[in-house]
Structure 1
């Protein structure tokens, strides 16, 4: 199937969800180029709107304030179609976010083991939820807390461990066009 044929199948948005380090930003960037669709990174939009980092938003105003900005930004994005949207790891914590994502797109859950996530994020300084807890055990605990919620929300699930971004993207497209 050609890129144009695949692109015609998507009238809605492709919403990438999952724990940090599962590949949402990497996959959205690849899909955007491959399918010639616009990529939107919700966290980057929030940073731009707020004029400060997510870590600063958490530190200065708290998680609830950040989640409000996240919902507001998601609702803005959902007014457009045919986007590849990389969502922050906690976007599924609010029912209203999940409803908006399902109404305007397909939700694709990217997963990885705690060990894979740790390897991907261990050198990052912009992961406020891991402050002082950058280890596999803590990541595993956090992932387990959100696991059920992610699974409830997902239309499609893709494991990203030991796969190239091309393999992940091809698997996703195959599952989306069925």
Structure 2
């Protein structure tokens, strides 16, 4: 397996909220000593407030513009794992920016798994009052086409360990 410290591109993890992007990115960081960036954390820090507060005070459009600005900045870096917010691939400009500097890896899971991961979280404005399998499935279906179109690689995560998911990502990005 190729040493990931020598990657001349970035890995962008996309997928529905709660699919495990943050968990997988942290595991990849431990396994391969790559830099990891949590897009939502960066945006929250830059704005001095939580994602929920950004949505409440500035609206979703402002937040989506912040995501695009971050992706444009990331073109200058290499060998980085970026854990993207769930809505990032919904804008074609974001997909274009990711593909300029890296490979886009879509992580998937079933709605029941997603609900299990997000049920105690209050940092997901689009799910806050809709934490049920039917709503999650509906929103996932609305995003599915954009997610799949954006992805260079698709990894199903249900029933797999974080280690197995990371191994699959590394194998596929090096092909």
TM range (shorter): over 0.9
Q: What secondary structure does 1:130 align onto?
A: coil
- Give the Å deviation of 1:8: 5.2
Out of 126, 131, 135, the position equivalent to 2:128 is 131
CA offset digits 1:42-85 (Å, max 9, x no partner)? 10000010000000111111100100111111211221111011
Distance 1:133 1:165 in 2: 27
Which stretches in structure 2 are left out of the alignment for 5+ residues?
none
* 1:165-176 mapped onto 2 (5 Å cutoff): 165-176=162-173
- The number of aligned residues is 175
Runs of 4+ in 1 over 2 A off after TM superposition: none
Distance 1:28 1:18 in 2: 13
Report the equivalent of 1:106: 103
Q: What secondary structure does 1:30 align onto?
A: helix
More deviation in 69-78 or 37-46?
A: 69-78
Report the equivalent of 1:39: 36
* Conservation of the 8 A alpha-carbon contact between 2:5 and 2:79: no
Q: Report the TM-score when normalising by structure 2.
A: 0.97
* 1:154-173 mapped onto 2 (5 Å cutoff): 154-173=151-170
* Conservation of the 8 A alpha-carbon contact between 2:109 and 2:157: yes
Q: Does 1:63 align with 2:63?
A: no
Q: What secondary structure does 2:3 align onto?
A: helix
- Give the Å deviation of 1:97: 0.8
Report the equivalent of 2:116: 119
| 1:126–1:8 distance in 2 versus 1, CA, 3 Å | closer
Which stretches in structure 1 are left out of the alignment for 5+ residues?
none
Out of 8, 12, 20, the position equivalent to 1:11 is 8
Distance 1:7 1:26 in 2: 18
